Structure 1
Amino acid sequence: MTLSLGLAPAAAGGFSLERYFAGRTVAVGSFSAINGVKREFTVDLRGKWNGKTLTLVEDFVYDNGERDRKTWRFEKIGKNRYRGTREDVIGETLVTISGDTARFNYLVDLDARGKGNRVRFYDTMKLQSDGTVLNKALVTKFGFPVALTRVEFQRR
């Protein structure tokens, strides 16, 4: 399935979270850890922009049937800059966009029971010429690489 934003990055004025993620978006992705664990998933996203904050609800379905919901809140704090929070993120993240690329990193506790399995994601999201957004993230623990994620978003 190939869906397109319909605008080249330059025509769209560069990449912005609110322009791309307001409305419906779908994604497919994978998480691959160095211990051999691999999870594939799909995501249905619904974004609402109120002029200052993008609220992005992500409904995940994993290849084993497990479901999860996460909600990002990205507050625009300047040109090409956002402050982001999510229920499993410890603290907040600062998103910076340069041209068609957004970069941010954040600390997450992967253990829903709060047992302290904390890892840091280093995300790079890039708007592609076909209108998709490719997000690649390096995941580290104690500063050492432990996993990679890859997610491809498409406007619905």
Structure 2
Amino acid sequence: MQRRLLLTAGLAASAALAGCAGPQVERYASEKPALDLRQYFNGTLDAYGIFTDRSGEVVKRFTVVMRCQWDGDNGVLDEDFVYSDGTKQKRIWRLKHLGNGEYTGEADDVVGQARGRTSGNAFRWGYTLALPVDGRVIEVQFDDWMYLMDERVMLNKATMSKFGVRLGEVTLSFVKRGS
């Protein structure tokens, strides 16, 4: 029992330290154009993405249509995914702007609450996703970064891990319709 407790504590400490590693979003404070999530994620966007496993192999390709709207500091991002194997998925994010570039988000397949922050042209947030895999659901952590390129295009790179072990990455490009 004590060994199991020590192992669990060690894994938790490793995951916490891994979360502190790497660049902080404030590093991008002077980068332009400045990202305002409420402005960018407003209207309809198209996204094109891939999921790569830890070896870098593309495992899935997908497209997303996002219908986004805000009412003050509360936003809804309604996402419809279509995967290369023909499967479909829907996720509806409910976001809240807390001020000072800080946001929280919830969705039905997100465990707890996502938390994030914008700075300059960047947005970083972290969350745990309940991911269906081979008939069961596993909880994986996402370290999700977005970079605004111009008023229409944003790039997104998310690292997916479990117990601090990198499982793969999701890479997306968002394109805002019209302007």
TM-score under structure 1 length normalisation: 0.86
| Higher Rg | 2
Once the two structures are aligned, what percentage of the paired residues are identical? 34
User: Out of 136, 148, 152, which is 1:127 matched to?
Assistant: 148
RMSD value, Cα = 2.1
Q: Which residue of 2 aligns with 1:147?
A: 168
| Alpha-carbon displacement from aligned partner over 1:93-132 (angstroms, at most 9, x marks no partner) | 1110000000001011102899441110100000014731
Please list every run of 5 or more consecutive structure 1 residues that lacks an aligned counterpart in the other structure: 1-8
> Does 2:65 align with 1:53?
no
Alignment-mate amino acid for residue 33 of structure 1: D
Cα deviation, residue 146, structure 1: 0.6
Higher helix share: 2
Please list every run of 5 or more consecutive structure 2 residues that lacks an aligned counterpart in the other structure: 1-31
Distance 2:58 2:68 in 1: 30
User: Out of 47, 62, 65, which is 1:44 matched to?
Assistant: 65
Aligned residues: 146
Alignment-mate amino acid for residue 95 of structure 1: G
Cα deviation, residue 148, structure 1: 0.6
Structure 1 runs of 4+ aligned residues shifted over 6 Å read none
Distance 2:72 2:48 in 1: 28
Answer with 106-115 or 34-43: which moved more.
106-115
Alignment-mate amino acid for residue 48 of structure 2: V
Distance 1:108 1:114, change over 3 A: farther
